[in-house]
Amino acid sequence: MAAQLGVMDLVAGVEGVEFPPGTGQVKWASGIVTMEPWITPIGQDGPDVLGVRSMASTPDISQIESKDSFVYIFDIRDLCKNIDDLDLEDRTTVVHLIKDKISRGIPVLVRGFPLPSIEWDFSSVNRMKGSLLNPISIQEARLRMASETYTKSPVADLHLELKLGDFIAAATEPDSEDSPKMCGNLLDSHSVDWSAMPWVITDINEQATTVYQNRRDWHIRLNKNAEGKEIAEPETFSGPQSMHPDGWQLQMWDLFTHGGFFTRIHHDAAGAGTWMAIRVGGKMWNLVDVSQQGIRSRDRLVDRFYHATDLFTGTPSQPVPHKAITVCLQCGDILIQPPNIMHCVYTPVKSIATGGHFYMYSSMHLTQFGCRVDHRKGGWTTNQVHPGASHLMINMALALPNFSDKPMLKVPFLGLARLILDRDAYEPSLDGVGTARYYPQDIQHREELGELDKVKKIIQAVLEANNIPLSQVDILLQSLGRDYKDPGDEQMDLSCLRE
Ligand X SMILES: O=C(O)CCC(=O)C(=O)O
Tell me, rounded to whole angstroms, the distance of Cα 439 from its chain centroid.
29
Half-sphere exposure of 54 toward its Cβ, with a 13 Å CA cutoff?
A: 22
Contacts (Cβ under 8 Å, ≥6 apart) of 451: 217, 219, 240, 391, 394, 395, 398
Q: Which is nearer to ligand X, 40 or 395 (CB)?
A: 40
Q: Per rule CB under 5 A, is residue 268 in the interface with Fe ion?
A: yes
Q: Dump the DSSP string for 268-298.
A: -STT-EEEEEEEESEEEEEEEEE--TT---H
Residue type present at position 398: L
Number of residues near ligand X (by CB under 6 A): 11
Q: Judged by CB under 6 A, which of 129, 221, 283, 376 binds ligand X?
A: 283
Find which of Fe ion, ligand X, none residue 255 binds, CB within 5 to 8 Å per kind: ligand X
Find which of ligand X, Fe ion, none residue 72 binds, CB within 5 to 8 Å per kind: none
Q: Judged by CB under 6 A, which of 168, 345, 411, 455 binds ligand X?
A: 345
- Return the bridge partners of 280, or none: 352
Q: Which is nearer to ligand X, 283 or 485 (CB)?
A: 283
CB 323 within 8 A of CB 280: no
Site string for ligand X, 51-90 (x = CB under 6 A): ----------------------------------------
Find which of ligand X, Fe ion, none residue 345 binds, CB within 5 to 8 Å per kind: ligand X
Number of residues near Fe ion (by CB under 5 A): 1
Number of H helices, E strands in the chain: 15, 17
The residue at minimum Cβ distance from ligand X is 263
Q: Judged by CB under 6 A, which of 263, 340, 354, 368 binds ligand X?
A: 263
Q: Per rule CB under 6 A, is residue 189 in the interface with ligand X?
A: no
Q: Which is nearer to ligand X, 181 or 283 (CB)?
A: 283
Residue 105 Cβ vs ligand X, minimum distance, rounded to whole Å:
17
Please tell me the distance from the alpha carbon of residue 221 to that of residue 461, in angstroms, as a whole number: 22
Please tell me the distance from the alpha carbon of residue 127 to that of residue 199, in angstroms, as a whole number: 22
Find which of Fe ion, ligand X, none residue 304 binds, CB within 5 to 8 Å per kind: none
Q: Which is nearer to ligand X, 120 or 413 (CB)?
A: 120
Q: Per rule CB under 6 A, is residue 39 in the interface with ligand X?
A: no
Please tell me the distance from the alpha carbon of residue 258 to that of residue 261, in angstroms, as a whole number: 6
Q: Which is nearer to ligand X, 369 or 413 (CB)?
A: 369
Q: Judged by CB under 6 A, which of 58, 69, 185, 395 binds ligand X?
A: 185
3-state SS class at 63 = helix
Q: Which is nearer to ligand X, 283 or 446 (CB)?
A: 283
Residue type present at position 176: S
Tell me, rounded to whole angstroms, the distance of Cα 63 from its chain centroid.
26
Site string for ligand X, 222-261 (x = CB under 6 A): ---------------------------------x-x---x
Gyration radius of the chain over CA positions: 23
CB 385 within 8 A of CB 462: no
Contacts (Cβ under 8 Å, ≥6 apart) of 378: 269, 385, 428, 429, 430, 431
Q: Per rule CB under 6 A, is residue 354 in the interface with ligand X?
A: no
The residue at minimum Cβ distance from Fe ion is 268
Other CB atoms closer than 10 Å to residue 154's CB: what's the count?
11
Q: Per rule CB under 6 A, is residue 40 in the interface with ligand X?
A: no
Find which of ligand X, Fe ion, none residue 352 binds, CB within 5 to 8 Å per kind: none
Q: Which is nearer to ligand X, 136 or 477 (CB)?
A: 136
Residue 256 Cβ vs ligand X, minimum distance, rounded to whole Å:
10
Q: Per rule CB under 6 A, is residue 347 in the interface with ligand X?
A: yes
Q: Which is nearer to ligand X, 79 or 187 (CB)?
A: 187
Q: Which is nearer to Fe ion, 250 or 400 (CB)?
A: 250
Please tell me the distance from the alpha carbon of residue 13 to that of residue 21, in angstroms, as a whole number: 11
Q: Per rule CB under 6 A, is residue 350 in the interface with ligand X?
A: no
Residue type present at position 109: L
φ, ψ of residue 409 in degrees (nearest 5) = -75, 145
Stretch that binds Fe ion, among 14-22, 173-181, 182-190, 268-276 (CB under 5 A): 268-276
Torsion of CA 222, 224, 230, 235, to 10 degrees: -30
Q: Per rule CB under 6 A, is residue 334 in the interface with ligand X?
A: no
Other CB atoms closer than 10 Å to residue 263's CB: what's the count?
23
Residue type present at position 351: S
Stretch that binds ligand X, among 94-102, 340-348, 386-394, 440-448 (CB under 6 A): 340-348
Find which of Fe ion, ligand X, none residue 381 binds, CB within 5 to 8 Å per kind: none
**Alpha-carbon separation of residue 211 from 207, 234, 443 (angstroms):** 7, 21, 17
Q: Is the dihedral of CA 61, 66, 72, 77 positive or negative?
A: positive
Write out the residues near ligand X by the rule CB under 6 A: 185, 187, 255, 257, 261, 263, 268, 283, 343, 345, 347
